[in-house]
Amino acid sequence: MSLEEVRRDWTRLGADEPLWAVCVDPDKRGGRWDAEEFLATGEDEVATALGRLEELGIAPAPGRALDFGCGAGRLSNALARRFSSVVGVDISEPMLERAHALDRSGGRIEFVLNTGPDLRMLPDASVDLVYTDLVLQHLPPEAAAAYLREFARVARPGAALVLGVPERERPTFKGLVFRYAPWPLIRFAQRVVLRYPAPMRMHTWTAGRITAELEAGARAAGRPAPRITASDEYWGGDHWRHLKHFAAVPTDAVPSNGEDA
């Protein structure tokens, strides 16, 4: 699967029903997400995650935050209440149109359409927080790996990373279907039985694989590598074990240059 297919699918999902495509809840299908209730879920999530960073002693400076795969801006708005500026990056134009419509930040969020495999619009060491949730699992693994490497490049020393992604399927019927059924069958069920406007793939990531990509990205950019400090289980429905990984870029580390790695 190519990034172009990801763009095509998320453009359809964003054009059809963006809030439901972000927070898939059968009860909210058919335009039943109330915008304020939707944004409130982002506020809760960000408050909890930033509280956890404090608890771990790795809270970042409240400068610039990156919301990768920002969708309709559910998390970007909550981040903008706590950071001086937020850049929300997404691959789907209609998602970003909805994000603009829901922007409550008074101009502190910059929404950027990015259809490329990297984050070249962001300089090295330019963000204090990298936040992504409910995104990496939908990407082809090699594309997600490339963005993880980019996160290590753009995070400054002292920055924190919050990375939400499922670690594995649970042994439920749906979990086992996703684990073992061929993708064309899952796609058919999503499109024809569940009537999704476009399929939603699911991939899982372990902390070890995430760490390996962060380290590779740091090494390639000659930057200190982010270290995962905690991986907490959080909401994710019944069929996947979702983890939120909390990482920090050390301020005192010698940048990786490939020789000392």
Ligand X SMILES: C[S@@+](CC[C@H](N)C(=O)[O-])C[C@H]1O[C@@H](n2cnc3c(N)ncnc32)[C@H](O)[C@@H]1O
Q: Which residues make up the interface to ligand X (CB under 6 A)?
A: 3, 6, 10, 22, 69-71, 74-75, 89-92, 95, 114, 133-135, 138-139
Quote the CA–CA distance of 30 and 23 in Å, as a whole number.
13
* Cβ proximity to ligand X, 1 vs 125, nearer residue: 1
* Cβ proximity to ligand X, 108 vs 227, nearer residue: 108
Quote the CA–CA distance of 197 and 209 in Å, as a whole number.
31
Q: How near is the Cβ of 70 to ligand X at its closest, in Å?
A: 6
Residue nearest to ligand X (CB): 71
Q: How near is the Cβ of 44 to ligand X at its closest, in Å?
A: 12
Query: Hey, what are 219's tokens?
Result: 């090494």
Q: How near is the Cβ of 126 to ligand X at its closest, in Å?
A: 17
Q: How near is the Cβ of 204 to ligand X at its closest, in Å?
A: 15
Q: How near is the Cβ of 237 to ligand X at its closest, in Å?
A: 12
* Cβ proximity to ligand X, 134 vs 247, nearer residue: 134
Residue reference for tokens 């992504």:
132
Residue reference for tokens 């082809």:
140
* Cβ proximity to ligand X, 60 vs 69, nearer residue: 69
* Cβ proximity to ligand X, 10 vs 196, nearer residue: 10
CB 109 within 8 A of CB 86: yes
∠ Cα 218 223 225 (to 5°): 50
DSSP class of residue 192 equals: I
Type of residue at 134: L
Quote the CA–CA distance of 218 and 237 in Å, as a whole number.
33
